[in-house]
Structure 1
Amino acid sequence: MQGIRSIPFLKNTVCILLVYIVFSFFVNLSVEAGTTYGASESVTSVALELAQFANPGAEDTNLAFEKAIAEAQARAAAAKQEKREIKIVLNLENKKIYKITKPIQVQFVDFLEINGNGATILNTSMKSTFWIKSSNHFTVRNLAVDYDPLPYTQGVVTGLDSTGQVVEIQVDAGYPSSSEFAAKIHQGFFTVMDRLTKAEKVGARHLTPIRAEAMGNGYLKVNLQWSATACGPGQIPVQLGDTVAIRSALATAVRVEDSAYTSFVDFGLYSSPGMGILEQGGVGGMVLERVNMIPGEKPRNATAERLVSTNSDGAHFIAVEKGPKVENCNFFGSMSMVGVKA
């Protein structure tokens, strides 16, 4: 310290650095704790009802979401022009089921919340459910997402050829076995499951299906990239009578790009054609609070419980400045749970 006292310039520099560090700490703390960028007590909260934008009798609700989000964008832009701070809450009807055929897109709008009120979004395609781009502080609360038809299937091995690369499956009642479904099974995952634990069987390999064919009467024939019976140390072969899950590797259910502080609170995700949640690029800092990413209820006419939630990773974060904050969540039935890549 004697050396610093003798050099006034260095002493001043150290003081400035200390002030900057303390100031930066409290600025970052206020941003994260309040999840706002300088929002004050004068923030105006505006409620929109999705029912206002719905077409009576329309089964597909994509258009209603598009109109509602466009209204939110317009109101947010007007508030910004007038230098007012605004938060918009889009309310869904209590416990209602909303069917969609394409992603709900949220782009270039800040401080928007979708309050599900216990509703479920049922995606009838193999596409994403949410696509969030360049939007800050977007929140989804008290909402569930599921797919119908399911983006995966499950059943019992009833046949194996001599190479172990052609497998015949008797699909569980109520699970997909159509030609349309079979055409989507390519470069996904073929895994042996344990019905008791609803997890992958110990020693099971991740095999890759390259082609599937519907044989009728609930049977599928699956061609594998590698032999299901040739094993390495610690691995087990696929055998007649094994329970298997066959997953596609398609769209991510929730896709977030170049956004900051996206939140999912009291959120359920019960199936996905690919990853559950993917956040890529931008500030990041996603909040996952009381998120249940687990297999949903049995499909219609099914007797066997679901064995799979998402077809690929549960949640994946790539090239974001801040990683996720995960609290009181339940992830089960994915290929892996949470992955973070710098």
Structure 2
Amino acid sequence: MLLMLCLTSVLAASAQEDFRPQVNEALKRGEKRIVIAPGTYRLAPLTGGGGELWNLSGLKDVEIIAEGVTLVGTKLMRAISLHRCSGVTLQGLTVDYDPLPFTQGEVIAAAEDASSIDIKIHAGYPRRPYSRVDVIDAKTRYRKKGMPFLWGTKAEMVGEDVVRVRLAGIGKAARPGDLASLSTGQEAGAPHAISVDSCERITFRNVTVHSAPGMGILEADGEGGSSFVHCKIVPGPKPPGAAEERLLSTSWDAFQSKTIRKGPLVEHCEIFHAGDDSWSVQSSDHLVLKNEGGVVVLASRDEFTEGVQLGDRLRTSVSSPEYRIASRKVVPRKEAALSEEVLAKLAGAEAWSAWKVSPKCIVVTLDRAADLKSGDSVYSPDRMGNGFVFRHNHVHSPGRILLKAGGLMEGNVLDTPHALIACPELPGTAAVGIEDMVIKGNTIRNGGWFCAAPWSSQAGVISITATLDNSKLRAEPVYKHVCIEGNTVEGGAGPSIVISSTDGATIRNNQIVSPQQDAPPDTGASYGIPKDAVIWIHESKDVTVEGNVIENAGSFAAGQQVQIQK
């Protein structure tokens, strides 16, 4: 027997069985609590299925218990999709892939002109030339300190178990004896292991992701308000025939929440060795394409999400009046009756420019007349993930914690992260407003060791900034009511705290231990952020800085460790 319904017992299940048909039958019967028997289940796509291995759609108030269950995807595609579900609990499941969506090995040679490196693949790992490369210190088995961006690499097999990776200068970053991971193996459908799409009140408890072709968990659209408790996104066990432990968990971000109404609770979770950001709460603006007769045509900058919904509020800034959407429909761009001028701007828009938006148009009427014209930007505080709680988690992963909403970061341990970042990452003319952000009681060790990025404003171990298009920080407030209190920042490279574009900030009782001991990177240089500061604040008002303790500042620190500039 594969399933226990209510109080019946669980019998042993063969590792070759497929639990999906039985789960579907139980759901059709209206069962609300389903227990999958422990075991390892190797699952391929179902005949006639969609872009995922296991699809859960339209469920309401259902509990799925999968303690001791490992779902091993045999095709590199999305493992689980929850679509338009409400009140669903998933407990105890582990997700992994075979074959793995990444490989790894040791750098054995570098070209004399540094244009390529050769990587001998570890025994037991896929002999595939995946091209997304990360260089790993052989002693720490963690991203190599100061590793530059390795974008645009090309890879090919040059022997039975040797991959050659080409990129100008890569031989200066990766030397023989270093380790490397190579990732982003994807075969079909979406690459993310688990997708929570247009849902509300979802609970994941003791869910583990060991690998993913893309992100580990992606939560997008819907009402949100979900909980992820005692979950893990960590490398899995050594594959058969391997002597080396895995260097990687997910190929991309470990966990991302985006364009939801209420942000998630993420508590007592572990995130280790992800290929990109560790956790982020994401949002986007909408470009006004037309406002005629009270009908406003919008297009989101994020083409993969549903955008604003009926009843959502719209603003042009954190302090502006707001409008509410009274009606809404979605049409293709060609049916939105846009002017030739607007269509030309859209057609010629370059990546990351103000006019580069989704081809899907959202036609809305607002609750009152709006002084909006084509080219203006608006955002919705109801599609940002505001109210998130990220608490008591342990992160040992080289990517960022990235915040684009207001909420609470409390009591976390971030071990050797890129940084704890708040930044809209939008064109300088895009509308954005982030309110009520609390970063409290966290311990951050050895941040800021990733590559130098002079073009980025994200220069602090804790960094809250917003930029214009001309290498300036925004003077108009983007953030409102920010509290950074009681945190411990240990070591790291560059400034410990960087703040800009904020109205109402409190930086209080933080312990900054041994800052500026290492040569700081040039990150922030384009925006005039001094790399020798410990605390730096600019283009902000109503700021309180008190009770902070700076201990054992290194020789790279400026004489004025705390710098507040207008």
Q: State how 1:106-117 maps to structure 2 within 5 Å.
A: 106-117=56-67
Which residue type is aligned with residue 340 of structure 1? Answer: V
| Counterpart-to-counterpart distance in 2, 1:50 and 1:67 | 15
- CA RMSD after TM alignment: 2.7
Gap change, CA 1:57 and 1:191, over 3 Å in 2 = closer
- 1:107 is displaced (CA, Å) by 0.6
- Give distance in 1, aligned partners of 2:67 and 2:243: 29
Q: Does 1:59 align with 2:3?
A: no
**What is aligned with 1:228?**
170
Q: Which residue of 1 aligns with 2:282?
A: 341
Displacement of 1:219 in angstroms is 1.3
Q: Deviations over 1:183-206 (max 9, x none)?
A: xx35xx211112443321110124
Q: Supply the AA of the counterpart residue of 1:157.
A: V
What TM-score do the two structures reach when normalised by structure 2? 0.44
Distance in 2 (CA, whole Å) between partners of 1:217 and 1:50 is 49
CA contact (8 A) 1:60 1:100 kept: no
**Residues 273-314 of structure 1 deviation map (CA, whole Å, 9 limit, x = unaligned):** 110000110111221111111111111111111111111101
C-alpha displacement at 1:168, in angstroms? 1.2
Q: Which amino acid aligns with 1:271?
A: S
Per-residue CA shift, 1:48-106, capped at 9, x if unaligned? 99999xxx989362xx414522541x334xxxxxxxxxx61221112x00111232000
Q: Does 1:101 align with 2:52?
A: no
**Match in the other structure for 1:69:** 24
State the distance in 1 between where 2:112 and 2:159 align. Answer: 23
Match of residue 246, structure 2, among 306, 315, 318: 306
Residue 36 of structure 2 is aligned with which of 67, 70, 92?
92
- Hey, what's the Cα distance between the residues in 2 that align with 1:51 and 1:248? 37
Q: CA separation of 1:134/1:302 partners in 2, compared to 1, >3 Å: closer, same or farther?
A: same
* Unaligned 5+ runs, structure 1: 1-44, 77-86, 231-236
Matched, 1:294 2:294: no
Residue number among 77, 85, 106 corresponding to 1:156 in the alignment? 106
Asked whether 1:281 is paired with 2:221, we answer yes
Matches within 5 A, 1:144-183: 144-177=94-127, 181-182=128-129
What is the CA-CA distance between 1:249 and the residue it aligns to? 6.1
Output the CA distance in 2 between the equivalents of 1:338 and 1:213.
31
The alignment partner of 1:129 has SS state of strand
* 1:234 counterpart residue number: none
User: Which position in structure 2 is the counterpart of 1:240?
Assistant: 176
Whether the 8 Å CA contact 1:198–1:333 is kept in 2: the answer is: no
Q: Does 1:207 align with 2:161?
A: no
Distance in 1 (alpha carbons) for counterparts of 2:159 and 2:74? 23
- Which of structure 1's runs of 4+ aligned residues deviate more than 4 A? 48-52
User: In the comparison of the two structures, how many residue pairs are matched?
Assistant: 268
Match of 1:6 in 2: none
Partner of 1:140: 90
More helix by share: 1
2:134 to 187, 191, 210: 191
Gaps of 5+ in 2: 46-52, 284-566
| Structure with more contact order per residue of length (Cα contacts < 8 Å, sep ≥ 6) | 1
Secondary structure of 1:272 counterpart = coil
Q: Secondary structure at the match of 1:69?
A: helix
Contact 1:270/1:309 (CA < 8 Å) preserved in 2?
yes
Contact between 1:209 and 1:222, CA under 8 Å: does it hold in 2? Answer: no
Alpha carbons 1:313, 1:338 under 8 Å: kept: yes
How is 1:6-25 mapped onto 2 (pairs within 5 angstroms)?
A: none
Q: Report if aligned partners of 2:26, 2:34 keep a CA contact under 8 Å in 1.
A: no
SS of 2:20's equivalent in the other structure is helix
Q: Is residue 205–residue 228 contact of structure 2 (8 Å, CA) maintained in 1?
A: yes
Comparing 207-216 with 125-134, greater Cα deviation is found at: 207-216
Measure, in 2, the Cα distance between the counterparts of 1:194 and 1:137: 43
Question: Partners of 2:9 and 2:66 in 1: how far apart?
Answer: 10
Letter in 2 for 1:228: I
Contact preservation (8 Å) 1:137, 1:262: yes
The equivalent position to 1:128 in structure 2, one of 57, 78, 87, is 78
